């Protein structure tokens, strides 16, 4: 792929983000997502991954956060001062972490509510058909209250809700968190399919680096509000530091224990 600007659906140019006007969390972050591509954003807890996604989707405003420097371009247009609703209409949707569904609504009602910004009448039906095509489990459960389905099915529901907004770019915040390995596998297969077949670009935030590097061909590593490394996933997988500090997952996807994390913090000097 050439490197001309038109090849990127999203360009984050050296942004700085502050909460409450004083808490500086992102200290110059640049990330590019190719059109139709999947890019992973890795990093430990508290690095600033969710903040990055909220800066893109406009959800920062709800938390008294602001992009105070740099710019974000979506399909060539500046979006860093836009309201979240407008950004969704342009085709960006964020799947926030923690798979928050409306528990008192059925699965199908959850999907329909998400459609209101982008789809009316017949288009809602088309959206539902598409979601049920990719998530047959949701079709089976469509009349069940979302509070009563499994964690995996709730994660599918929030991804389905994102699809109802007819997105060009989905921002996924830790979709694997707390799910059983088999379900993680199922969800990531569907995410890959959506990318290939519906041509939806993805920016994927994950703490499970092994998983993310398998799904995304390119990844960025974030530490303490800065990008400290970016490369093809192939190269990152072979990088000793990445192996040590980010691929320290057991077969079951559990994180390294606290002692190892502390060890990692001490050894972090390699990054500076």
Ligand X SMILES: Nc1ncnc2c1ncn2[C@@H]1O[C@H](COP(=O)(O)OP(=O)(O)O)[C@@H](O)[C@H]1O
Smaller CB separation from Mg ion, 96 or 145: 96
Minimum CB–partner distance for residue 44 and ligand X (Å): 7
Give start and end residues of each alpha helix (H) in the chain. 49-57, 84-90, 107-115, 122-134, 136-140, 151-163, 181-197, 209-215, 233-238, 240-245, 258-266
Determine the interface stretch with ligand X among 38-46, 75-83, 117-125, 131-139 (rule: CB under 6 A): 38-46
Smaller CB separation from ligand X, 65 or 175: 65
Binding-site size for ligand X (CB under 6 A) equals 13
CA 105 to chain CA mean position, Å: 24
Q: Distance of CA 50 to CAs 45, 129, 236, Å?
A: 10, 30, 21
| Other residues' Cβ atoms within 10 Å of the Cβ of residue 155 | 26
Told to check if 147 binds ligand X by CB under 6 A, we report no
Smaller CB separation from ligand X, 104 or 265: 265
Told to check if 207 binds Mg ion by CB under 5 A, we report no
Binding at 111: pick from ligand X, Mg ion, none (beta carbon under 5-8 Å per type): none
Told to check if 49 binds ligand X by CB under 6 A, we report yes
Q: Are strands 65-74 and 38-42 parallel, antiparallel or unpaired?
A: unpaired
Q: Distance of CA 213 to CAs 39, 53, 206, Å?
A: 9, 18, 9
Q: Which of 10, 12, 25, 236 binds ligand X (CB under 6 A)?
A: 25
Binding at 45: pick from ligand X, Mg ion, none (beta carbon under 5-8 Å per type): ligand X
Q: Which of 21, 24, 46, 147 binds ligand X (CB under 6 A)?
A: 46
Determine the interface stretch with Mg ion among 42-50, 87-95, 141-149, 246-254 (rule: CB under 5 A): 42-50
Told to check if 50 binds Mg ion by CB under 5 A, we report yes
Q: Distance of CA 22 to CAs 16, 42, 66, 67, 68, Å?
A: 12, 25, 10, 12, 11
Q: Distance of CA 113 to CAs 140, 154, 161, 221, Å?
A: 19, 15, 8, 35
Binding mask 57-96 for ligand X (x = CB under 6 A): ------x-x-------------------------------
Structure tokens at 216: 């995304």
Binding at 3: pick from Mg ion, ligand X, none (beta carbon under 5-8 Å per type): none
| Other residues' Cβ atoms within 10 Å of the Cβ of residue 99 | 22
Q: Which residues bind ligand X (CB under 6 A)?
A: 19, 23, 25, 43, 45-51, 63, 65
């Amino acid at each position: 792929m050439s490197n001309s600007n038109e090849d990127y659906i999203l360009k984050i140019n050296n942004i700085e983000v502050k909460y409450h006007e004083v808490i500086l969390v992102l200290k110059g972050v640049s990330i590019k997502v190719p059109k139709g591509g999947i890019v992973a954003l890795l990093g430990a807890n508290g690095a600033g991954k969710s903040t990055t996604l909220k800066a893109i989707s406009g959800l920062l405003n709800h938390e008294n956060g602001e992009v105070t420097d740099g710019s974000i371009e979506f399909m060539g247009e500046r979006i860093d001062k836009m309201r979240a609703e407008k950004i969704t209409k342009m085709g960006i949707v964020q799947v926030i972490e923690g798979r928050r569904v409306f528990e008192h609504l059925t699965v199908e009602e959850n999907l329909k509510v998400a459609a209101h910004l982008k789809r009316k009448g017949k288009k809602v039906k088309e959206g539902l058909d598409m979601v049920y095509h990719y998530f047959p489990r949701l079709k089976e459960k469509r009349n069940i209250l979302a509070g009563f389905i499994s964690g995996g099915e709730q994660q599918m529901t929030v991804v389905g809700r994102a699809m109802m907004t007819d997105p060009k770019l989905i921002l996924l915040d830790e979709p694997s968190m707390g799910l059983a390995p088999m379900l993680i596998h199922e969800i990531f297969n569907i995410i890959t399919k959506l990318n290939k077949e519906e041509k939806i670009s993805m920016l994927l935030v994950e703490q499970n680096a092994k998983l993310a590097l398998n799904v995304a061909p390119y990844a960025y590593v974030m530490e303490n509000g800065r990008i400290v490394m970016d490369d093809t996933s192939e190269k990152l997988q072979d990088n000793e530091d990445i192996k040590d500090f980010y691929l320290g997952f057991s077969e079951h996807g559990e994180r390294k224990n606290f002692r190892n994390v502390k060890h990692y913090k001490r050894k972090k000097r390699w990054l500076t």
